[in-house]
């Protein structure tokens, strides 16, 4: 009997899935979401649990003693040290902070010397607020990360931000590590919607960036699953976590970040793209040390 020929597509058959967990964010309050990790001990426990079920990067926002968002440099340094001591995860600090954080404090986050930091390449409406990212500030973040050897994750909330990223790389060079990795953050009220159509359009726009550019995607709120499934099927990576989603299913609050990572890892295995280890993530992203 003739064996049927099967065409293989590299991104489906061979590449593992990078799973980032964004456990806290700056928007939900502990009073509204009791399972949110807000202390350093809670964050480290969450990170360990998420690593055990398939996460390789942790995207970090921290809180003060009253559980309010803070960019306190001492706390950020302690957080980086504790996550490094207790996990093998790639530590990515948010330079976005909260919408109220001044540029000077957002830039100073880099002095905590994480492996990675986020960088958004444009301003976007953010619910009733504005997430402000002026061109000069984007350039300052990009250049400081190059100086310090911190690998950026470009967080993209709308399509024009990919064009700005191209302009940034053309004028100011490739990021530390030489590899470009972007994360599509979809479904923010004011940004691009969290749909498969958006994901495909954004992926298409990557043609203007270096050929080996990688992408992950996250869908805010109830767009979590459509975006996750679209990203997996399009050869992308995943971000999940309580920064983006606090409802697991209709009427069912998320119990823990590990619950979301475990679900993402399960889908990734079904797609025959199992979760990648933190060390594999370091190689992919050009993270040294
Ligand atoms: N909290 C948002 C205003 C980032 O981490 O870089 C910005 C944000 C993006 O979460
Ligand atoms: Zn964030």
Could you report the per-residue pLDDT of 114-144, keeping only the tens digit for each? 999 999 999 999 999 999 999 999 999 999 9
Tokens of 47: 């990170």
* Residue 102, pLDDT score: 98
* Residue 128, pLDDT score: 98
| Cβ of 120 below 6 Å from ligand 1 | yes
Ligand 1, atom nearest to 22 Cα: 5
**pLDDT confidence of 6, banded at 50, 70, 90?**
very low
* Average pLDDT of span 225-240: 98
- What is the 3 state secondary structure string of 227-248? HHHHHHHCCCEEEECCCCCCEE
**pLDDT confidence of 175, banded at 50, 70, 90?**
very high
**pLDDT confidence of 4, banded at 50, 70, 90?**
very low
**pLDDT confidence of 111, banded at 50, 70, 90?**
very high
Smallest CA-to-CA distance from 277 within 36, 33, 53, 10 is with 53
Whether 9 has a pLDDT exceeding 50, the answer reads no
Q: State which of 71, 94, 95, 106 you would mutate to test the pocket of ligand 1, scoring each by most atoms of that ligand within 8 A of its C-beta.
A: 94
**pLDDT confidence of 76, banded at 50, 70, 90?**
very high
Tokens 């950020």 belong to which residue?
Answer: 76
* Average pLDDT of span 147-157: 98
* Residue 25, pLDDT score: 98
Cα(217) to ligand 2 centroid in Å equals: 13
For 111, 185, 258, 272, the CA distances from 213, given in Å and listed in that order, are 26, 16, 28, 21
Question: Which helix H or strand E contains 19, and what residues bound it?
Answer: strand 19-21
Tokens 């500030």 belong to which residue?
Answer: 137
* Average pLDDT of span 36-61: 99
Q: What percent of the chain has pLDDT over 90?
A: 94
Smallest CA-to-CA distance from 158 within 121, 111, 195 is with 121
Q: State which of 91, 102, 131 you would mutate to test the pocket of ligand 1, scoring each by most atoms of that ligand within 8 A of its C-beta.
A: 131
* Average pLDDT of span 227-244: 98
* Residue 10, pLDDT score: 39
pLDDT tens digits for range 10-41: 333 349 999 999 999 999 999 999 999 999 99
Tokens of 45: 């426990």
| Cβ of 121 below 6 Å from ligand 1 | no
Measured CA angle at 195 (ends 193, 200), to 5 deg: 105
* Residue 11, pLDDT score: 38
């Amino acid at each position: 009997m003739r064996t049927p020929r099967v065409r293989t597509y590299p991104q489906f058959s061979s590449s593992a899935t990078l799973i980032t967990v964004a456990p806290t964010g700056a928007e939900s309050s502990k009073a509204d979401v009791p399972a949110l990790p807000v202390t350093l001990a809670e964050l480290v426990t969450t990170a360990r649990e998420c690593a055990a079920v398939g996460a390789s990067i942790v995207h970090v926002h921290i809180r003060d003693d009253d559980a309010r968002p803070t960019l306190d440099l001492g706390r950020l340094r302690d957080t980086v040290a504790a996550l490094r001591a207790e996990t093998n995860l790639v530590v990515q600090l948010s330079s976005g902070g909260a919408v109220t954080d001044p540029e000077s404090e957002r830039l100073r986050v880099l002095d905590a010397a994480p492996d990675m930091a986020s960088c958004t390449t444009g301003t976007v409406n953010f619910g009733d607020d504005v997430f402000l990212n002026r061109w000069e500030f984007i350039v300052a973040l990009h250049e400081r990360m190059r100086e310090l050897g911190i690998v950026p994750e470009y967080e993209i909330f709308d399509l024009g931000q990919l064009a700005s990223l191209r302009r940034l790389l053309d004028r100011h060079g490739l990021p530390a590590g030489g590899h470009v990795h972007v994360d599509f953050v979809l479904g923010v009220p004011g940004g691009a919607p969290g749909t498969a159509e958006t994901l495909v359009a954004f992926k298409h726009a990557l043609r203007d960036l270096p050929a080996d550019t990688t992408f992950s995607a996250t869908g805010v709120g109830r767009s979590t699953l459509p975006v996750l499934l679209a990203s997996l099927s399009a050869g992308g990576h995943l971000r999940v976590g309580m920064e983006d989603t606090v409802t697991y299913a209709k009427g069912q609050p998320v119990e823990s970040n590990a619950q979301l990572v475990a679900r993402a890892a399960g889908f990734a295995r079904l797609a025959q793209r199992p979760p990648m280890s933190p060390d594999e993530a370091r190689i992919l992203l050009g993270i040294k040390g």
